[in-house]
Amino acid sequence: MLTPVNPTTGTALPEVESLTLAEAEDMIGRAVAAAPAWAAMSYSERAKCLINIAAEMRECKDELAQLMAKEMGKPMREGLGEVEKSAFCAEYYADNGEAFLEPETLASDATDSYVCHQPLGTVLGILPWNAPVWLALRFLAPALMAGNTCVMKPDPNVPESAACLTRIFQKNLPDGVMQNLPITTEIVGDAIDHPGIKAVSFTGSSGAGQKVAARAAAGLKPAVLELGGSDPCIVLNDADIQKACDVITLSRMINAGQSCIAAKRVIVEAGVYDDVCRELTERFNALELGDPSLENQCIGPIAREDLRDQLHSQVMRSIQDGAECLTGGEKPDMPGFFYPPTLLAGVTSEMAVFREETFGPVLAICKAANLDEALTIANDTEYGLGSSIWTGSDTSAQRAARELNAGQVAINGIVKTDPRLPSGGIGKSGYGRELGPHGIREFVNIKQIWAA
């Protein structure tokens, strides 16, 4: 059984029966059986399906947002935005997928030589709870447009959100093309091993990603892994401090800080260190915890009690090691799994909030003498997902863009995902890319054709 809990109240939600291994294999088999006919359809036919899905997602956006608020604590305003962004993702690939997969002529000793892009078959997407609609669309939209059929394994925290999304997809797709796989973690490996699964997409923690990667590799199946992050944000003396602190606060507090690409380590040049600490403290103190199902500006709860306890442990261990808690740091006396916006200053590289991914509204502040030291601190991590720099100098910005070890760099702005741009990481943050033209090419056979 899947046993979700409402994180706002801490009360159990209705249990959902998980599939047995035999039932899961049957579900995967339906997607495999549907693959040849789906691959044979024209790009325009597949695009029409995605356009219809996007339209229906917008019609159901209130329902989807309410389900996310109930199952994982996402504030309504963020849930509505997530659905809109996801619908745009479907439309983006509907409009551009064919062009991204156009045959490419390459010069050789042949009369004609070119590369074409053909679907692999059936792709398994193993998804987390923190953005159950958006992360599903990042996997589904490009894979489907490329001609693959898809099996979606949602997180056990969000079974109703997944069921609602599945209903929308299946209403607008031929039978079998998209399947939902509500299973327990224990049989995920068996799903990866299924001979009909030709590739795997996984979003989640680095530890879980290593297990998925090993299982996929054992079957010689390609995988895309979008894993954890400890994203650095550099603030130099010549930055627009007010704007930087506004955006850093927004970045860290979206989804109650439960975002892989949120700023987690702010590295501040010494000349503005005290100013940044003061400005961020003011902004953090102005934030309020509240019911995510209401239309307000609240910070919602952490999705599970064990995740909140882990986050609190990271904070406490860092304080014990010498970090200064400027605000927050105490579990509130209220129902649910809330955690206050927490700001830790004087953070150094041996502390938990520096070395580990903090998945919640906790921000670490480090001091650097100059850009050289800031870059050294930023790159002192096994992760490499997002990163950012705030500066008035184009020279400093471009140097940081070159030298930061990450899958993406934002200059004077927020690190975000956009359907039009590739997203992914290096190191313990994973490999492969989602979104943009690169994302749709992950799950195709790049076939070389040579003609004498």
- What does the pLDDT look like over 126-169, one tens digit per residue? 999 999 999 999 999 999 999 999 999 999 999 999 999 999 99
On whether the CB atoms of residues 243 and 396 are closer than 8 A, the answer is no
> What pLDDT, in 10s, does the model give residues 252-311?
999 999 999 999 999 999 999 999 999 999 999 999 999 999 878 899 999 999 999 999
Residue with tokens 């105490």: 330
Give the C-alpha separation, 375 to 373, whole Å: 5
Task: List all residues 6 or more positions away from 440 whose beta carbon is below 8 Å from its beta carbon.
Answer: 93, 97, 100, 101, 142, 143, 145, 146
By annotation, the residues acting in catalysis are 226, 260
Torsion from C-alpha of 13, 19, 24, 28, nearest 10 degrees: -40
Q: Which of 248, 276, 275 is nearest to 263 (CA)?
A: 248
Q: Kindly provide the residue ranges of all beta strands, DSSP E only, lying in 322-429, ordered along the sequence.
A: 324-327, 342-345, 362-368, 386-390, 408-411
Residue 382: C-alpha distances to residues 120, 259, 355, 417 (Å): 32, 17, 8, 21
Q: Which of 51, 146, 116 is nearest to 89 (CA)?
A: 51
Pairing assessment for the beta strands 342-345 and 362-368 based on DSSP bridges? parallel
Helices (H) and strands (E) in the chain, counts: 15, 18
Q: How many CB atoms lie within 10 A of CB 222?
A: 15
Q: Which of 168, 115, 97 is nearest to 440 (CA)?
A: 97
Q: Which of 435, 364, 441 is nearest to 137 (CA)?
A: 435
Mapped onto helix, strand or coil, the DSSP state of residue 181 is: coil
- Please give the share of the chain, as a percent, with pLDDT higher than 70: 100
On whether the CB atoms of residues 261 and 229 are closer than 8 A, the answer is yes
Res 434: pLDDT = 97
Looking at 41-133, list the stretches that DSSP marks H as alpha helix, in order from N- to C-terminal side.
43-59, 61-72, 76-100
Q: How many CB atoms lie within 10 A of CB 288?
A: 11
Res 273: pLDDT = 98
Pairing assessment for the beta strands 104-105 and 11-12 based on DSSP bridges? unpaired
Task: List all residues 6 or more positions away from 323 whose beta carbon is below 8 Å from its beta carbon.
Answer: 344, 345, 346, 347, 351, 353, 364
Res 157: pLDDT = 96
Burial 4-40 (b: 16+ CB within 10 A, else e): bbbbbeeeebeeeebbeeeebbebbbbbbebbeebbe
On whether the CB atoms of residues 146 and 119 are closer than 8 A, the answer is yes
On whether the CB atoms of residues 346 and 302 are closer than 8 A, the answer is no
Q: Which residues of the chain have pLDDT under 50?
A: none
* Residue 401 burial by Cβ neighbours in a 10 Å radius (0-12, 13-18, 19+): middle
Give the C-alpha separation, 203 to 315, whole Å: 25
Res 390: pLDDT = 98
Q: How many CB atoms lie within 10 A of CB 408?
A: 22
Amino acid code (one letter) for 313: S
